[in-house]
Structure 1
Amino acid sequence: MPYAITSDKWVKHHSEQEKKRIEKENIIKKRKLETTLKKTSAETKNNSKKLINGVRENQVKEKQNDVEATKIQDVDDENKKLARQEQNKKLKLAVKEGESEKFIDGVRENKVVKKEIDVETKRPDKTSSKTFNIGDFMVISYQKKRYPGLIKNIDQGAQEYEISVMEKIKPNFWRWPKNVDQIWYKRKFVLEKISEPISSKGSIYNLNI
């Protein structure tokens, strides 16, 4: 009689058990691998989110800083614009009331007193040997700051130029103001001629002056 362990039935049973054991081990290994992959994927995704959030926070901070700088510049430009408008009102009122040409010239001289204080005596006069025309784009000096503008009228006798100037919105970026900022400047404050500016974004002009 054959032994139980050598019988075909026992061998078949043993083979089936061994096969089930191996399959079970493979399933366990597969689950462990899937768990490890999920954990790694979750950590990678979390790190990516942190990196993206960090970049966004920096972008938001930079944007806020730009906005604050623009607000401060706008307030400064608005104050200068109001001062110029007040000077123009005085000049128009003098003309309307029919005052003498001498008094009008006096108002005009008063209008440029602050500009004369700000003249940079050490800088050579670039306009001494140049002729400017209506429609030329210029750089003018006002309160020790440079502004781009367009010549609208010229008084050759008085050597004065009526110029419409732009307002600064942030460093190197300019636009035409909603309320026209146009007054007369003596020749010494008309620094130099520049090329016609080209708009970079709609009504925004990129000028490094």
Structure 2
Amino acid sequence: MSRGYEACPDFSYSPDLHLTINGQALGIAVITNITREKDEKTAEEVRKRRIYFKKKNYRVLWMIEERTPALDGHHQGLFLWRTEAEAANKTGEDRLWELYLKGLIRDEQFFRLYDFPVKAAHQLVDVRSLCHVRFQKSGSKVRIHRYLREGMPRMTRVFHLATGSEWPLTAVLNITDDKLDCGEPVEEKSMRRRFLQDYERRLTKRRLD
């Protein structure tokens, strides 16, 4: 692992960290000190950097430092800053969640089980992940939140799917077949199973009411 500006000296925008996994380069961009006053400006900076890295064909994992997002557990809501929405990732584990959910989410009836407001039925099941990182002397720790994206990246309330345990950064990152994975596979499988159990419980309750 090296500093981004050292590994990418010719870049106009550098990642904070640069590492190589299975022979493939990966940048890590860390966003700090998000505030209400700076949120719009920071989000726009993230958007510009994301576009730049994409043009460079340089893979980047975005992380938010030291913040715990607000959750509305009963209604399955996750509240995000616009910056966090811009810094969401799309990884292999997110795609596994999508495959798992496509059989459940067919229209707005799914969201009514959670009293979650939707402007329109989800035409696409689009799962994203938000990585929160905590830097310590003993190493970096990451906690991953997964949610459904509704098409508009600026929305502040999204449908929360799961939040994992805190893991060492090196334990959750992998690149296989040119695809980035971020998540602990055993835990992710367990969270999908728990999500299904909760869904079935709500569905049964709705039918009995």
TM range (shorter): under 0.3
Q: Which protein is bigger by CA-based radius of gyration?
A: 1
TM-score by length of 1: 0.24
The answer to which structure, 1 or 2, has the higher relative contact order (CA under 8 A, 6+ apart) is 2
Higher strand share: 2
More helix by share: 1
TM-score, normalised to structure 2's length? 0.24
